[in-house]
Amino acid sequence: MLNRAFLVGAVLGIIFLLFSFEKLSLNKKTIGLSFLFVLVAIAVVTIFLKSDSSLGRLLIYKISWNMFTEYPITGIGWGNFQREYGLHQATYFQAGNYSQKEFLLADNTFYAFNDYWELIVETGSIGAGCLFTFLYFIVRLAYHRLHTTPNDDLLKFLLALLLVIGIAALFTHVFEHGPFKIILAFILSYLLLAKRKNFKIVATLTITVTYAACHYYFKLNNISNYKKWEHAKILSSTGYILESQKTYEYLYKKFYDNLEFLQNYNSVLGFNNPDKKIFILKEILKRYTHHACYLEMAKIYEEIGMRKESENAFLKAVYMVPNRFVTKEAIYNFYINHKQFDQAAYWRHIILTMPVKVPSERIEAIKQTVKSKHLLTLKTKIYD
């Protein structure tokens, strides 16, 4: 699937198996050549497969480093990366010290694309110490098991699989997915248990099944509510908005912490209920930041006369993903509507001169609309 992270992990996993089953001799020359091959493979997939994606991740690492240095000891808080990254990216671009390439590559980002680094950013130096201690313990334990049970082929396969997943986690977000967590639980259980092989397999399966059941307990226990949620989606898609809203309102007490549910709920709320819509948008923004959420909130604030809050939300939407024309057109219109012509002139100039990430008819239409508005003429008409 051209997934570079798992491609590199698979290469290392295969090399490990070749050494484990003695298909390659374990000497310095072979180890050196294998290491060189892996480095070349990483370089090739980085340069020739999705090079812009690689540069985009460098921007993510750069901004997340600022996040780490802001809270180096305790981190930004467990699970807060999705919420905090967008805010820090907005601060970075608002400061103005960025390259054009960074400007074009910026996007809504919710992961560090390195599970270990994301954990360190969230938990700080304390979490980093725990992580490295755990990894050291696992490596020592794996080395011990390989030497004490050299004929355990299942162990070799599981360690190769662990290597694939562990290496992939260096380049993408892996451990947010339930199936990978369950696979990891199986591997670690088998590695930690030192009893007879038959007992190990039974005990490992028991632990893994128990963990999987706990992990999916909420979904299993709310099957009927998930069906109602799906029904609410169907209602909204077929035009029965009020009925859909009632279903979402009923389900809120069950799924109040589910980001996807909150997004679906927000999508069916009209502007005739601004208080409820602002409440749901704030609940979404507690969990992750997206420029479209701030843009939507800015428009609601403007509609109900909360001008300062509207301006702040517009600015967050603009700087969070600075290459978007829609957000810049929105803040331009905001300043025009409130007769702040100096600010409007500034954003007009930005819209007409900023580089285009992906050319489209929509962008050309925005440019033509902005270009056709003569600020001096508008100002004269208003003062007259």
Kindly list the distances between the CA atom of residue 219 and the CA atoms of 224, 251, 375, in Å, as whole numbers in the listed order. 9, 14, 56
Domain residue spans in the chain?
4-176, 329-384
| Residue 242 and residue 210 in contact, taking contact as beta carbons nearer than 8 Å | no
What is the C-alpha to C-alpha distance for residues 186 and 206, in angstroms, rounded to an integer? 9
Burial of 125 per CB tally in 10 Å (0-12, 13-18, 19+): middle
Residue range 209-245, pLDDT digits in tens: 999 999 899 999 999 999 999 999 999 999 899 999 9
DSSP string covering 339-354: T-HHHHHHHHHHHHHS
User: pLDDT class for 328, splitting at 50, 70, 90?
Assistant: very high
Residue 272 has φ and ψ, to the nearest 5°, of -80, -5
**pLDDT value at position 384?**
47
Residue range 99-115, pLDDT digits in tens: 998 898 989 989 999 99
What percent of the chain clears pLDDT 70, i.e. is strictly above it? 88
What is the C-alpha to C-alpha distance for residues 213 and 232, in angstroms, rounded to an integer? 27
